[in-house]
Chains A and B, each alone.
Chain A
Amino acid sequence: MTRERKGPALDFTNGRVDLSHGGGGRAMAQLVEDLFIASFDNDLLRQRNDQACLSVPAGRLVMTTDGYVISPMFFPGGDIGSLAVHGTINDVAMGGARPIALSASFILEEGLPLADLRRVVLSMAEASRVAGVPIVTGDTKVVEKGKGDGLFISTTGIGQVPEGVTISGDRARPGDAILISGTMGDHGVAVMSLRENLGFSTSLRSDSAALHTLVAEMVAAVPDIHCLRDPTRGGLASTLNELAEQSAVGMHLEETAIPVREEVRGACELLGLDPLYVANEGKLIAIVPGAEKERLLAVMRAHPLGMDSAIIGEVVEDPHHFVQMRTAFGGNRVVDWLAGEQLPRIC
């Protein structure tokens, strides 16, 4: 059955989003049809219902949702679209779960070039295809010019937790080891380098990546992983503080064990930032019983997204829940929560 054309084809060269694209009429239907369904193409989406009907395996499911407001929309190593897919897949995966499906909701600002929107949507489609996690339902709204900043995306994900896996931020115990899957701060510095008022350039790319295949191998090898979390906003420092607080423990880190790229250190030095507080979008923190740390490290290092994995410290008993670090210099210091805002809109 052929569908009736809804008017002239969308102008992806010079066209812009206008209020009719969110008005519920033919212009909106055309945008949904010719851009979103055509790009994300899968059986569930093709049914064109207001919801996706999924057959799910028995057992436990995780569900998560995240909003993406990053500015600028395109950055070295990714864009708001790939980030919206990777970020939510990662939040599913940090529960030890296998991601099943995603939903996507778009808030478009009047005037957004259709070329930019298409570039973002194609990037999301590619990220979803590579990850093997389909976008099965979605929504589009248009807000008047000045009421949004080009494009905001929200994605929701569900995933299935394998039997025997209980990963939670409150399970860190004294004696556990703390591992990270690679270098810290790449995403934040890559995004920051594009800010017009900073005026520096770098060869650095965002580390934005979907971590679910790495997690699948980790939980297969060491089912008793206690905590997994991706150190996004606030970086490693803030995420470890969250975990310390949630588990009511302290942590001791070794600064020399934490991998940070030279370019990231250089940029942070220049801007007066601490790489431990800079965001990552393709890295994870794992907390495991001390006896399992070497085995887990080997599994992580064998995966392409975990080649620079490292054991960076241990969980200790501490009524104050301090995250402390032995500095490369030989002293000790607290690694505190991020105070205020280090960088605006990085995810």
Chain B
Amino acid sequence: MKYIDEFRDGAVARQIAGAIGTEARRDRGYALMEFCGGHTHAISRYGIEDLLPEQVRMIHGPGCPVCVLPIGRVDNAIEIAKRPGVILCTYGDLLRVPGSGRNSLMKVKAQGADVRMVYSAADSLVVARENPDRQVVFFAIGFETTTPPTALVLRQARAMGLSNFSVFCNHVLTPAAIGAILDSPDVREAGTVALDGFIGPAHVSTVIGSRPYEHFAETYRKPVVIAGFEPLDVLQAILMLVRQLNDGRAEVENEFSRAVTRDGNRKAQEVMAEVFERRPSFEWRGLGALPDSALAIRPEFADWDAERLFEIETRSVPDVRACECGDILRGVKRPADCRLFGSVCTPENPMGSCMVSSEGACAAHWTYGRFRDAGPLT
């Protein structure tokens, strides 16, 4: 398959892995966080950790939008879906996310709520046009990658004067989360969590560009390499991080130059700025309330804002006791460190958010990597 196979070539992988093995020093560790769930998935699915020397350790970051969505917002979506006359449209991943009392959109759907899986924000607009006598709500989540499409449908809905469509906005911002991890006491104080560098997001960076990461490289002295989601991209980025750390450099480098520029996609940024504004604070599952970390719909678009239309109030709901998602999302713990992992918490029956989406650290490790916990390969 052209433009894909080139980035999954096993022979090239062995070359890069060979270089990492040669260049990574044995007298130090390299704790590298891949921020994005897309990278976490690629690392697990292609078995990239098998190609890395012992001293290079990957930490799975919080960049999985389903994983960081707080329980209170899932509860809100469930409440909206249960209202008479509502059709709630959302991405497939969200259907199984457990809210309070182990309720989920999948469960209320079985009880009769009209919840529909869509592949894009635009699909929900089609549902609204086809069902003029129903209120259609798009349950929007995601980082900067999925934000511009949501902005566009809001703009379209306003242009069309569509009165039966609204968006329940849960879009969040990547730089705020990276900042929160670097500022967390685990990382800053006493170095309880070693964190030497970041693999920067692929698709998010196509929108925001590489410039927003420069602050982290400069202020926190952590190298960042923006990488594509193909396995060779990831491996190449690891090599680039190892080289920066060996040289004592802390720079923003761009491995994904085929798609990412320093300034990103200006048009997408403009449409986002036109439709959304920053929330003063927003709760992230595992990270807590973070200032300036999420987007709300601007008052000009209030008629299409489900949060206002349905007078939504969000309660903060704590995780299931013993669930370690918070620590796992910050890289403090690994999936297998959680007592629930693989016993009561599995992809079929997720207790915590990291197990829900295939991009979550726990789901990826359970689905692709758990043989490593069972000892060496036979």
* Cα separation A324 to B369 with both chains bound (whole Å): 9
Known A250-B378, A327-B45; judge A333-B368 contact (CB<8 A): yes
Known: A329-B46, A329-B231, A330-B13. A336 touches B368 (CB 8 A): yes
A322-B371, A324-B371, A336-B368 as given contacts; A331 in contact with B48, CB under 8 Å:
yes
- Please name all residues of chain B whose beta carbon is closer than 8 Å to the beta carbon of A198 when the two chains form the complex: 119
- As a 0/1 sequence over residues 194 to 224 of chain A, the CB contacts with chain B under 8 angstroms (1 = contact) are 0001100000000000000000000000000
- Are A269 and B4 in contact, CB atoms less than 8 angstroms apart? yes
Q: Once the chains are docked, how many angstroms separate the CA of A339 from the CA of B368?
A: 12
- Interface check A340, CB cutoff 8 A: yes
With CB as the reference atom, state the residue of chain B lying closest to A198. B119
Assess the A331–B46 pair: CB atoms within 8 A. yes
Q: B378: which of A317, A330, A336 is its contact (CB, 8 Å)?
A: A317
Interchain CB contact under 8 A, B46 and A265: no
Cβ contact within 8 Å between A332 and B377:
yes
B46 near A334 (CB under 8 angstroms)? no
CB within 8 Å for A316 and B378 given contacts A262-B1, A334-B367, A339-B347: yes
Q: Is A328 within 8 A of B10, CB to CB?
A: yes
What range describes how many residues of A lie at the interface? 20 to 34
Q: Does A320 contact B (CB under 8 A)?
A: yes
Interface residue A34 (Cβ < 8 Å from any Cβ of B)? no
- Tell me if B44 counts as interface (CB < 8 A to partner A): yes
Answer whether residue B198 sits at the interface, using C-beta atoms and an 8 A cutoff.
Answer: no
Cross-chain contact A269 with B1 (CB below 8 angstroms): yes
In whole angstroms, how far apart are the Cα atoms of A328 and B4 in the complex? 13
Contact assessment for A197 and B374 in the assembled complex, using a CB-CB cutoff below 8 Å: no
* Pairwise interchain contact B17-A333, C-beta atoms closer than 8 A: no
- Identity of the chain B residue whose Cβ is nearest the Cβ of A320 in the assembled complex: B374
Instruction: For chain A, residues 302 to 347, give those with C-beta under 8 angstroms from any C-beta of chain B.
Output: 316-318, 320, 322, 324, 326-334, 336, 339-340
Query: Is B8 located at the chain interface by the 8 A CB criterion?
Result: yes
The answer to whether the Cβ of B14 comes within 8 Å of any Cβ in the partner chain is: yes
Q: Is the CB of B50 within 8 A of A340?
A: no
Is there contact, CB below 8 Å, between B371 and A336?
no
**Contacting residues, chain B, for A318 (C-beta < 8 A):** 378
Within 307-365 of B, Cβ neighbours of A (below 8 Å) are at: 346-348, 363
Contact A330-B10, Cβ < 8 Å, known A197-B123, A265-B1, A324-B377: yes
**B82 surroundings in chain A (CB, below 8 A):** none
CA distance A265 to B363 in the complex (A): 23
Nearest chain-A residue to B372 (Cβ)?
A332
A333 and B46 contacting across the interface, CB-CB below 8 Å: yes
The answer to whether B290 has its CB under 8 Å from any CB of chain A is: no
Contact of B366 with A by CB under 8 A:
yes
On whether the beta carbons of A330 and B369 are closer than 8 Å, the reply is no
Total cross-chain contacts (CB, 8 A): 79
Chain B residues with CB below 8 A from A320, complex form: 371, 374
CA distance A331 to B235 in the complex (A): 12
Given contacts A266-B1, A269-B4, A336-B366, contact A330 B371 (CB under 8 A): no
Give the docked Cα–Cα distance between A274 and B7 (Å): 17
For the complex formed, measure the closest distance between the CB of B235 and the CB atoms of chain A, giving whole angstroms: 9
B262 proximal to A (CB < 8 A): no
Which chain A residue has the least Cβ–Cβ distance from B4? A269
Listed residue (A322, A328, A330, A336) with the most chain B CB atoms within 10 angstroms of its CB: A330
Return the CB mask of B122-133 against A: 1 if under 8 Å, else 0. 010000000000
Question: Is B47 in the interface zone, CB < 8 Å from A?
Answer: yes
Complex interface residues of chain B between 23 and 68 (CB less than 8 A to chain A): 44-51
When chains A and B are docked, how far (Å) is the Cα of A198 from the Cα of B96? 21
User: Of B47, B374, B377, which one neighbours A330 at CB under 8 angstroms?
Assistant: B47
Alpha-carbon distance between A324 and B371 when the two chains are bound, in angstroms: 8
Tell me whether B348 and A340 are in contact (CB under 8 A): yes
Contact A197 B10 (CB under 8 A): no
Which A residues between 100 and 130 are near B, CB-CB below 8 angstroms? none
Q: Give the residue name and chain of the A residue nearest to B106 (CB).
A: A340
B3-25, CB under 8 A of A: which get 1 and which 0?
01000101001100100000000
Q: What are 29 A-B contacts with C-beta separation under 8 Å?
A: A197-B118, A197-B123, A256-B10, A262-B1, A266-B1, A269-B1, A317-B378, A320-B371, A322-B370, A322-B374, A327-B10, A328-B8, A329-B48, A329-B51, A330-B10, A330-B17, A330-B47, A331-B47, A331-B51, A332-B377, A333-B45, A333-B369, A333-B371, A336-B366, A336-B367, A336-B368, A339-B346, A339-B348, A340-B348
Interface of B toward A, CB cutoff 8 Å? 1, 4, 8, 10, 13-14, 17, 44-51, 96, 118-119, 123, 231, 346-348, 363, 366-371, 374, 377-378
Given contacts A329-B10, A333-B368, list 10 more A-B pairs with CB under 8 A: A197-B123, A318-B378, A322-B370, A327-B47, A330-B13, A330-B17, A331-B48, A336-B366, A336-B368, A339-B346
Instruction: Give the B-binding residues of A (Cβ under 8 A).
Output: 197-198, 250, 256, 262, 265-266, 269, 271, 316-318, 320, 322, 324, 326-334, 336, 339-340
In order of increasing CB-CB distance, the 3 nearest A-B pairs are A331-B47, A339-B347, A331-B50
